[in-house]
Structure 1
């Protein structure tokens, strides 16, 4: 299909981009990599008055080290994130999840910030941002503010960003030694959205037990979720398959898994338990 008519703006600085968004008001849309927005426009599921293309804004690109965190520019592509040395060293969970996003063509065009701002609960990176306790940096007329990942995702395709705000970067805390991670997902074909995905982070204590676990769930509700019951069950547990499997049985608690053509809610709940077990076992290196 052909999109409805809209005005097109292509700013070349962050200040210019914010001016364009302010002028567009509630009817404006930001174009980042376009891998999510363009299909929505073509299906006429959105009717923006103005599309603001931020592809030429240099302030939004790249990964940098800020001491206790790494900062990923919102317009950094999935391919760039996947192959970045800082990401691989300090946030391997991001690289693990990003490697599963769609296909190489999408990863070369799609952007880290664009995927998070789109806020599709079937997208892989929201659960990862939750598990890592990321902060999402928004810029607007009032200046810059940081939004915890737990507060960023409000509802289906809805975030805490105001209409005149732009997601500019994501701050990822450095976890330090002792943390291991794994991202596990289930989908019908390689390019498809996750039917369910699990982002697992595990910190081992000196005696080999689990000191802390963080589990993010993909596509188990209208937003990414933390499997808090499983996290609690894993704390202090040993890393045997039996102990991890017992904790994983709580993975779907508190979720609101959707039913659609890809699977019923009870099927997704089953997948959440199975994939959580696999993800945690892989994170701790237990076979």
Structure 2
């Protein structure tokens, strides 16, 4: 569990990081918190020639509300995201998910941008990100571009990240003010990774009928997914325990379930149903 030899350099700005990536001839890797990259290096699943440290680039550490979105710098740590007043006020499901990641050491060093950009199928933040219509901003050799989360993450550890580019920020849509949000997960006791994690945003109109609902599920399969079958079944309904339980039975229908030594495909399907029902009851009842 010892990584191969590598060089280490520190980037002073985003432009400097891009320059260093170019100079590495494809052998460079960005490192921020390092909680995703370093384990891969220890198992020698990746062997970068150069680690480019972007952890001290101050321009990537801001959080601000811009119109109807909250813009979070890629280098904002999980701890800071969990405690930031803007995030807690407008997108509390993200704050809740960030506060449940790993342990204190991981939350102190791990970053919002890294958690999403790594595309780990068991990452926490993609669940609230997908229900909050997250957009990832990337700066590279040809300038800046923005992608929707669903377009950005293609599969496990596979993204549309262009070569020699840096994720600079992630923006999240602010849901209507009458909605409530939550993030719940069943996690592996050793790692804290979600076996299934569910983010939900929902609200009702003046007649008590559901007029806004988003459900996102992570950990269950190769990538995060929206439980659109659940959303469609509940839209326009008056929420009750029986109505929510019935709709939550569809929670696994829109994703491909994974299977491993800890949890079978059938077990993950059941967890999707149970945790979707719990999440929706907490925001609707």
For normalisation by structure 2, the TM-score amounts to: 0.97
Q: Aligned in 2, Cα 1:86/1:19: closer, same or farther, shift over 3 Å?
A: same
* 1:271 paired to 2:271: yes
Aligned ranges 1:224-239 → 2 under 5 Å: 224-239=224-239
Matched-pair contact (CA < 8 Å) for 2:179–2:212: no
Matched-pair contact (CA < 8 Å) for 2:81–2:95: yes
Greater displacement, 182-191 / 3-12: 182-191
Listed one character per residue, the Cα deviations across residues 73-113 of structure 1 (whole Å, up to 9, x for unaligned) are 00010011111010011101101111111111110111111
In 1, the alpha carbon distance for the partners of 2:238 and 2:96 equals: 24
Deviating above 3 A after TM superposition, structure 1's stretches of 4 or more consecutive aligned residues are none
In 2, the alpha carbon distance for the partners of 1:94 and 1:256 equals: 24
Matched-pair contact (CA < 8 Å) for 1:199–1:217: yes
Listed one character per residue, the Cα deviations across residues 36-93 of structure 1 (whole Å, up to 9, x for unaligned) are 1111111211111221110121111121122221110000100111110100111011
| 3-state DSSP of counterpart to 1:45 | coil
Structure 1: any 5+ residue segments left out of the alignment? none
Greater displacement, 271-280 / 94-103: 94-103
In 2, the alpha carbon distance for the partners of 1:42 and 1:27 equals: 17
In 2, the alpha carbon distance for the partners of 1:207 and 1:150 equals: 33
In 1, the alpha carbon distance for the partners of 2:255 and 2:106 equals: 29
In 2, the alpha carbon distance for the partners of 1:32 and 1:208 equals: 45
Matched-pair contact (CA < 8 Å) for 1:212–1:234: no
In 1, the alpha carbon distance for the partners of 2:35 and 2:257 equals: 25
In 2, the alpha carbon distance for the partners of 1:271 and 1:178 equals: 28
* 1:262 paired to 2:257: no
In 1, the alpha carbon distance for the partners of 2:191 and 2:258 equals: 20
* 2:171 corresponding residue in structure 1: 171
* 1:48 corresponding residue in structure 2: 48
Aligned ranges 1:1-287 → 2 under 5 Å: 1-189=1-189, 191-284=191-284, 286=285
- Deviation of 1:268 after TM superposition, in Å, equals 0.2
| 3-state DSSP of counterpart to 1:26 | coil
For normalisation by structure 1, the TM-score amounts to: 0.96
Matched-pair contact (CA < 8 Å) for 1:25–1:163: no
RMSD: 1.2
Q: Aligned in 2, Cα 1:117/1:249: closer, same or farther, shift over 3 Å?
A: same
Listed one character per residue, the Cα deviations across residues 104-152 of structure 1 (whole Å, up to 9, x for unaligned) are 1110111111111111111110111111001111000111111111211
| 3-state DSSP of counterpart to 2:26 | helix
Matched-pair contact (CA < 8 Å) for 2:121–2:223: yes
Aligned residues: 285
In 2, the alpha carbon distance for the partners of 1:229 and 1:26 equals: 42
Greater displacement, 112-121 / 172-181: 172-181
